[in-house]
């Protein structure tokens, strides 16, 4: 489990397709404190650490199944790409965002950017099947970042990015046409399931 509070910006160092896709990710984390088998959310995708190293910089390796590649934006990863990283939640950690599983539901597209004061309003288009789980003032995780929805119009929804968020995450790089990993709020999913039964 995660909170959607990004704690490092990593970088894709290498990609190697050998059965499954293997990725080496550079990080500012102290790899001495990471165990093989640990979970790290990489742009919102919960991935398992299978290798660790320190040269030429701290890095960890992950393996990514074809199913995960097909349901996320990982197919667009390339060497040099920056990634939002978050270590798994531990008992006693502060829950600063919302409960995030790291199981991406689908991919949303950036369809609009509008500066608002020092902030940036970004409009996203969700897949039809996921749009009903997104509500004004509700939570979503986009590329692993816990965010509050400002408004919803059909499949489109708006998020306001303050300067801190754009500096502390990869959202400073946002551009129209980008695809982003979308995880809807678990509570919204359960509420919709209960309504479907009624």
The pLDDT tens digits for 113-136 are 999 999 999 999 999 999 999 999
User: What's the DSSP call for residue 97?
Assistant: S
Q: Above 70 in pLDDT, residue 92?
A: no
Judge if 8-87 and 106-197 fold alike in CATH terms. yes
Task: Note if the pTM is more than 0.75.
Answer: yes
Are the beta carbons of 107 and 47 closer than 8 angstroms? no
Q: How many CA atoms lie within 13 A of 186 on its CB side?
A: 12
Q: What is the pLDDT of residue 85?
A: 98
Are the beta carbons of 59 and 27 closer than 8 angstroms? yes
CATH of domain 8-87: 2.40.30.20
User: Which region among 50-64, 66-80, 174-188 has the lowest average model confidence (pLDDT)?
Assistant: 174-188
Are the beta carbons of 137 and 148 closer than 8 angstroms? yes
Q: What is the pLDDT of residue 89?
A: 84
Are the beta carbons of 46 and 103 closer than 8 angstroms? yes
Q: What is the pLDDT of residue 193?
A: 63
- pLDDT (tens digit per residue) in 34-69: 999 999 999 999 999 999 999 889 999 999 999 999
Query: Three-class SS of residue 50?
Result: strand
- pLDDT (tens digit per residue) in 142-172: 999 999 999 999 999 999 999 999 999 999 9
User: Which region among 15-24, 27-36, 97-106 has the lowest average model confidence (pLDDT)?
Assistant: 97-106
Rounded mean pLDDT of 171-196?
85
Q: Domain 106-197, CATH 1.20.140.10 — does that match? A: no
Report domain extents, the chain: 8-87, 106-197
How far is it, in rounded angstroms, from Cα 90 to Cα 92?
A: 6
User: What's the DSSP call for residue 29?
Assistant: S
């Amino acid at each position: 489990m995660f909170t959607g509070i990004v704690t490092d910006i990593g970088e894709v160092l290498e990609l190697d397709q050998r059965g499954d896709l293997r990725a080496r990710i550079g990080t500012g984390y102290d790899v001495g404190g990471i165990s093989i088998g640990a979970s790290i959310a990489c742009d919102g995708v919960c991935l398992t650490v299978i290798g660790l190293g320190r040269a030429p910089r701290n890095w960890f390796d992950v393996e990514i199944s074809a199913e995960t590649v097909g349901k996320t934006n990982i197919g667009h990863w390339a060497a040099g790409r920056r990634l939002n990283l978050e270590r798994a939640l531990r008992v006693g950690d502060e829950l600063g965002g919302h409960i995030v599983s790291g199981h991406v539901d689908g991919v949303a597209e950036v369809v609009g950017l509008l500066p608002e004061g020092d902030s940036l309003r970004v409009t996203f288009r969700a897949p039809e099947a996921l749009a009903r789980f997104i509500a004004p003032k509700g939570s979503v995780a986009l590329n692993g970042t816990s965010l509050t929805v400002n408004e919803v119009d059909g499949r489109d929804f708006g998020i306001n990015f303050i300067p801190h968020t754009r500096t502390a995450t990869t959202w400073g790089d946002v551009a129209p046409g980008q695809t982003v990993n979308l995880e809807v709020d678990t509570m919204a999913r359960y509420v919709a399931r209960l309504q479907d039964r009624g």
